[in-house]
Structure 1
Amino acid sequence: MSRLRSPSEWVAPLVPLTALAILPLGPLLFPRIYLFLLFFYFTLFLYSQVNHVCKFYMTSCRIRSTIVKWNKHIRSKSMDQSDMPTGVRHPSTKLTERSHAVMDDDKLEEMEQVQYYENPNYLHAIIIPNYCEPEGLLKDTIGRLATHSNAKTNYAIFLAMEETEENWKVKGDRLASFFQDRFAHFIVSGHPANIPGESRGKGSNVAYAARFGCAELLRRGVDRRRVVLTVSDSDSAIPELYMREVEDALNRSDNPHYLLLAPPIFFSRNCYQVPAAVRVTDITWSAMVMSNLSNSKGLSFPCSTYSLSMVLAERVGYWDTDADAVGEDMHMWLKCFFKTDGQVRTAPIYVPINLTNVQTEGYLSNVNARYVQAKRHYNGVADVAYTLKNAFTQQRGAPKGSLLGDASSSLAMAASSAAAWTDKLTVCFLILEAHMIPATSGWLMFAAVPLMQFILFPPFSALALVSPAQNPILTSEFYAMLWNMVKIITVLLPFPLFATLSIYEHLHRSIDRDFLQKPKAESRQWKHLLDYATLPVAAWLFMTLPSTLACVKRLSQKEQQYIVSEKLFHEDDAPVAVLTA
């Protein structure tokens, strides 16, 4: 139990255990203090949720704005190529009638807006980790990338296979042959099993593929300063707009090698083929990721798909591969942040990455598969200890440009140090919010007020555990008022969620219509509002329970088994353009 010798390791398991313990003990042993705890917890929770609604709204507006700008670019390309034969037009010019509208009067401004989409400067290496995924799904994911206009000159595919998968090399070679000459580079790696100190999972697979692929690119004469690594999931439908926006963000940055670029995630590929509880869970997950991106200081975490330069990956030693790095996306951001003395920032890329919901045959089987996926996601609670350890580690060296003995430099160093500490504390708060709120809010929100009401005001006198003389709500006007305020706040707690879902409904339809070009009949309908009736069950089953179990399991040294989420894929449903070599 050597890991538990660190105080930071006890934070994650103790928080939910304490929350569960005080539910019955608080009203019995220290009701006055417990009332204050509930008041401050619910007030802080309500404030944070209102804040998330505002940030989610900002993100949704920026997503729509980015899509509008892209559609203008496509419309411009379509008009420029209108005289060309159909067979040689840009693949992105397949538009709906809506996209063929007349251009704005201010054409010059429009052309300036879309000009940066041309002439890419970087080689984009897309890492696709996978293990026993359907070959059709991989072909679909890679095929979508192959349709991008610069894929043949500026894309490299790192197909990250696992050697433990039977016939992995045959499968990898078959895919490489299928996409021959459609990318600048196509590199297949096989991650060996049982590497000492490694834990199986996406992180170790990505780490091996990144090292292997980058070494191969360098051997082929590629300049490392030109390489941008994009980590994808096997089911990520990455649009060309994402790559263009990444290029733009890097070109505008003073130091592109201190950026980690993160897009929102979106579930619209098979969402109507899964149970409503699964669908709603991924909707709320998507909304949380989107609100997280609108952080004014650039301290936001990527989820699933993200990009960073090869130079930054090399500087921090690539991805960690031990059991505590199972939350590979968030953990890599934290590693980059701490290894660069807090200089790394997130550049939000307001382009939704369309993912696939977990899907199996059978309703209960599908629900169970989503629960298994939730347990794996919340094993990322290991990042709580990692963050607390690194946040309070003494930094080495002085800030760049400082001169010892210079008064102005001393002031600059003090200001820089204060800013660094503020950023570290902010990151600690964000990590605790991401992992401790799910593990406590469900229990406290659903049970705290009803249980306290039952203990202090039982329906039958025979059930009384606290005498009226010891009941602070009956003996003190102040605590009676505080109790009423707590109950009022608990009534208000769901309203930010309702606002979030309202914004999401509008955004989902907008993305389907304006970006994914889906007909109205294939987007969300009014009938889908009934999905939200499953929210209480989904919140407890896919958030509260798995996050609590993940926290408590930190008390054990046993490594968790890595199970890949099952996702059905029918090749007949894939776009014809994708499956045509």
Structure 2
Amino acid sequence: MSRLYSPSEWVAPLVPIASLAVLPLGPLFFPRIYLLVLFTYFTVFLYTQLNHVRKFWLTSRKIRMTIGKWNKRLGNRETSGTKKNDTEYTETLDDVEEKLQYYQDPHYFHTFIIPNYCEPEELLKDTIERIASHSNAQTHYGLILAMEQSEVGWEEKARGLQDHFSDRFCQIVITGHPRDIPGESRGKGSNVAYAARHGCLELVEKYNIDRQRIIITVSDSDSAIPELYIREVEEALAKTEDPYHLLCAPPIFFSRNCFDVPAAVRVTDITWSAMVMSNLSNSRGMCIPCSNYSLSMVLADKVGYWDTDADAVGEDMHMWLKCFWKTQGQVRTAPIYVPINLTNVQTKSYLSNVSARYVQAKRHYNGVADVAYTLKNAFQTSSACISLFERLKVCFIILEAHMVPATSGWLMFAAVPLMQFILFPPFQSLQLVAPSDNPILTSEFFGRLWSMIKVITLCLPLPLFGTLVVYEQLHRTIDREFLHKTKAESRKWSNLIDYVNLPVAAWLFMTLPSTLACVKRLLNRQEKYITSEKLFRGDNTGLIVESSSST
């Protein structure tokens, strides 16, 4: 309980508790204040969600433009199954020079860290194969196989992968993360931290690679990283004045096995993907990466690499925050508008699949520890050199990411119906508030305010509908123009029926796990880290292998 002596630690647990307590208590004991609170909350929420739709549209537009430029650079004459007129592809001298410059060898040495624990070897081979297929992999790529020593047979597995890809990369390094390092919490972050420290040091000392040229790309074991991502990272680093204070973040996208999972799981990952994409269009380069991202070894070394304690379980968000605070606000994010294709959580049965996605959601929302971490750093004297606006903006981003899921589900669905029931019960015997104490009946102002609240409540789903319209078009573009899937393999308009699962999915995979994660901050105990259970279907053999593990 020692950590609860810090006021910032109380924010996360008290916010959802207060939102639940106020549902019945607000109409009974302070209805006027409660009406003002509801109006303010719903108005701000609606505005922010509309803003997210705008930002998501901007991101989707930039993704389509990036894909279009890539196809043009490759000399593609056909997109979406239709032939364009040759006149539309007439190359100018500028086009030729741009293409030649784009195909130059990378300036940096790209090191891919692939943390894994009990992942199927075929899944890892598939992920690594996609990276090895890049045109500069043999000369400018390094691979760090971030293994866990607690996995039985980890060395044989790593050596097998190293031998299989020995001639496909410039260098392949194996690291084995020890099981019991004092003060360390098990998970992706601790594995990445160990791999980055020891693997990159080996690249520098053993293979004489200049540490200032090393760009670390953190990848999930199921990430399909296209060559375009690395080229766009190179371009972003070349354009910035300070590449050593830049973190590159791509959007995430779920299309590898999306039709093999329950619709509730599918639409949850769709909304998760859309939220990440809208975040990429935040102003002033304050974008939080998700799952996959790149940064220089110089920056990682400067901030002391990844934190490994229990409060750093949200390794991607926490590392960005750590870089921001440790560099006095110098770090910025460069959005890389190239989607990284991931795998949905998948098991062999419907109910176990839903359960596995819930377990993953609980793990994601344990990153609520970053609320306290952010508030502590925002108001320390060491952060005084960062402008107040930027400190407040970072606080808002983190609070929105963790507090909105823990409150919106309860307030959006229950606040108005419960207040209607308490203040205007269907039967006289259920009356708890006398008409003379009902501000909606005794005050014209509060009567109008109540009407406005009900109207705003009806409008709250509209931004979500707008997001889904943008997403459906974007999904088809990525599938057909970037991943080169046929129309039969991509989403169809008939898949819109998936969205009937949204209310249940939102409550089960967002509201409930985020609320529990917040409340558990009152308990000073370490959560068991459980990795996502996934099935991998080999492209050629049809073989299905299963990944199910905990650390």
- TM over 0.5: same fold? yes
Tell me the amino acid that sits aligned with residue 2 of structure 2. S
Q: 2:295 aligns with which of 302, 305, 308?
A: 308
Tell me, yes or no, if the aligned pair for 1:455 and 1:464 is still in contact at 8 Å: yes
Q: CA separation of 1:8/1:574 partners in 2, compared to 1, >3 Å: closer, same or farther? A: farther
The 5 Å alignment of 1:118-267 reads 118-219=104-205, 220-267=207-254
* Counterpart secondary structure, 1:488: helix
Tell me the amino acid that sits aligned with residue 512 of structure 1. D
Provide the residue aligned with 2:276 in structure 1: 289
| Runs of 5+ consecutive residues of structure 2 not aligned to the other structure | 544-551
Tell me, yes or no, if the aligned pair for 1:157 and 1:186 is still in contact at 8 Å: yes
Provide the residue aligned with 2:476 in structure 1: 509
* Counterpart secondary structure, 1:160: strand
Provide the residue aligned with 1:64 in structure 2: 64
Mean CA deviation greater in 284-293 or 99-108: 99-108
Tell me, yes or no, if the aligned pair for 2:79 and 2:481 is still in contact at 8 Å: no
| 1:55-80 CA-partner distances (Å, limit 9, x unpaired) | 0000000000000000011117xx9x
Tell me, yes or no, if the aligned pair for 1:274 and 1:357 is still in contact at 8 Å: yes
| 1:441-469 CA-partner distances (Å, limit 9, x unpaired) | 00000000000000000110100000111
RMSD (Å), alpha carbons? 1.7
| 1:118-152 CA-partner distances (Å, limit 9, x unpaired) | 22101100000111111110000000011100000
Provide the residue aligned with 2:432 in structure 1: 465
Is 2:346 aligned against 1:348? no
Tell me, yes or no, if the aligned pair for 1:72 and 1:110 is still in contact at 8 Å: no
Mean CA deviation greater in 284-293 or 386-395: 386-395
Q: Distance in 1 between matches of 2:218 and 2:383?
A: 30
Tell me, yes or no, if the aligned pair for 1:319 and 1:328 is still in contact at 8 Å: yes
Tell me the amino acid that sits aligned with residue 220 of structure 2. D
User: Aligned-pair distance for 1:296?
Assistant: 2.1
Q: 1:368 aligns with which of 348, 355, 360?
A: 355
| 1:209-257 CA-partner distances (Å, limit 9, x unpaired) | 1111111011121100100000000000000000000000001110100
Q: Distance in 2 between matches of 1:360 and 1:544?
A: 23
Q: 1:547 aligns with which of 514, 523, 537?
A: 514
Is 2:32 aligned against 1:32? yes
* Counterpart secondary structure, 2:306: coil
Is 2:391 aligned against 1:430? no
Q: Distance in 2 between matches of 1:263 and 1:292?
A: 10
Q: Distance in 1 between matches of 2:473 and 2:318?
A: 32
* Counterpart secondary structure, 1:433: helix
Q: Distance in 2 between matches of 1:428 and 1:96?
A: 42
Q: Distance in 1 between matches of 2:264 and 2:383?
A: 48
Q: Distance in 2 between matches of 1:295 and 1:500?
A: 16
Is 2:48 aligned against 1:48? yes
Q: Distance in 1 between matches of 2:84 and 2:130?
A: 23
Provide the residue aligned with 1:406 in structure 2: none
| 1:281-301 CA-partner distances (Å, limit 9, x unpaired) | 000000000000001200110
* Counterpart secondary structure, 2:515: helix
Q: 1:108 aligns with which of 93, 106, 115?
A: 93
Q: CA separation of 1:60/1:428 partners in 2, compared to 1, >3 Å: closer, same or farther? A: same
Tell me, yes or no, if the aligned pair for 1:151 and 1:183 is still in contact at 8 Å: yes
The 5 Å alignment of 1:453-492 reads 453-492=420-459
Q: Distance in 2 between matches of 1:52 and 1:361?
A: 35
**Equivalences, count:** 540
* Counterpart secondary structure, 1:522: coil
User: Aligned-pair distance for 1:105?
Assistant: 2.4
* Counterpart secondary structure, 1:124: strand
Q: CA separation of 1:140/1:444 partners in 2, compared to 1, >3 Å: closer, same or farther? A: same
Q: Distance in 1 between matches of 2:539 and 2:132?
A: 19
Provide the residue aligned with 2:10 in structure 1: 10
* Counterpart secondary structure, 2:536: coil
Q: Distance in 2 between matches of 1:14 and 1:321?
A: 26
* Counterpart secondary structure, 1:126: strand
TM-score, length basis structure 2: 0.96
* Counterpart secondary structure, 1:266: strand
Tell me, yes or no, if the aligned pair for 1:69 and 1:113 is still in contact at 8 Å: no
Q: CA separation of 1:264/1:545 partners in 2, compared to 1, >3 Å: closer, same or farther? A: same
Q: 2:526 aligns with which of 543, 548, 559?
A: 559
* Counterpart secondary structure, 2:62: helix
Q: CA separation of 1:420/1:396 partners in 2, compared to 1, >3 Å: closer, same or farther? A: closer
Provide the residue aligned with 1:412 in structure 2: none
The 5 Å alignment of 1:382-397 reads 382-395=369-382
